[in-house]
Structure 1
């Protein structure tokens, strides 16, 4: 028997592993709690959290000025376009009004010209009638005052010293043709055979003698050689107005008379030189 057999052991009995684990867990939790509390007391309080608000961008002064300038420019362009449209409308209206005025002025001028032409023709008819009346009166007085024996065949005094001899040859052909047309109508531009104007009659008469004359009275008054009205011969061309710009021509037929296409109211007539004294005469034969 051992000496220590009766001596009780002082070692503590072993604890089970599960109990140890539980206690270790509790202790760890307590320590963790204490540690967190200490940390919390040692760390200063955090800043309060503020909400963040998004701000819209602000236009700077240069961008605002540019936008304002663009708006003003657009407004100016719009105003300019409106002004241009108004000006175009006014111009179109002015053109239309000017065209209407020009048309009316032309119509008025034509009416005035027609009225003046009508008045001139009327005045010519009256003058022709008065000349015919005076010529008839003078012829009547001459017939009553002159002896029957005073008239003779051949040469005779024709006033202003004009002496007429019987027409012969080409002159006779011209005179005979001109006298054969007496009584026919006067038509401006007429060249026969039923109607003539003054230069058309002279041209046609000279054609009978194989002589070609210009068509217009102005050129006919420059044909041939100028002769005095006191030395006329049958077949000479009489003209009224300036030589080269005459407005009327006729054929001298002798005996102090001429045959001419006077106007539309008298037609082709044979008249005395005193009825309507010509300005001058030319000789082509």
Structure 2
């Protein structure tokens, strides 16, 4: 084979190189087109991205604003509640101070009234002590005058005690009548009689019914000083007093009269007992 005959086969590679170049050019063109398209793509994608994210941003902002408003409202409620509590506490404090001042005023007034009452009672007791002392000093003379009217030595001894009983009773004139009272400033009828005879060592029963049978029954026409008078039946009497002579008796009469001296003719007794 001649040298020139080898030329065609020697040129084949060039043909392939041209094809490769063409293919490369085409490929480069395609890639360039893709590159251009890729470069241009973000310009169209941006609006889509922004449009999709806007609701998310708006929702978060709305929630934040809602939370802020709720916190503000709660803070306002808390302040209002605190103000109400402070006002109520101040009002309660003022009321407590007024109540305490009123209680102090009443307590002071009560203390003054009690002090005055005690002073009056002490003055009254002092005024009563003087006649009692005087009566005790003159008891011997009274015993002698009463004993002169007695019929025996035994009755003379009884009249001495009777004078003491009468002296005690007269010292209580003006005291109040109080049901169940046993002194020293208020009495009922049997409480006064019992206390009077206790001064001479005679222990009488407490109630009128029993006092009406405590001694020797005597007629109301034969009375002696110191005899116990009763109204009602013996053993069922409802009132008692003591005969003090000269047609008079002394008793704790009733709430309107208190302890008084009365005429027997105005309220005759139903019976009498003698214990001295």
Given the two structures, how large is their TM-score scaled by the length of structure 2?
0.43
Higher helix residue share = 2
Q: TM-score, normalised by structure 1?
A: 0.42
Higher Cα Rg: structure 1 or 2?
A: 1
Q: Which has the higher contact order (CA 8 A, sep 6+)?
A: 1
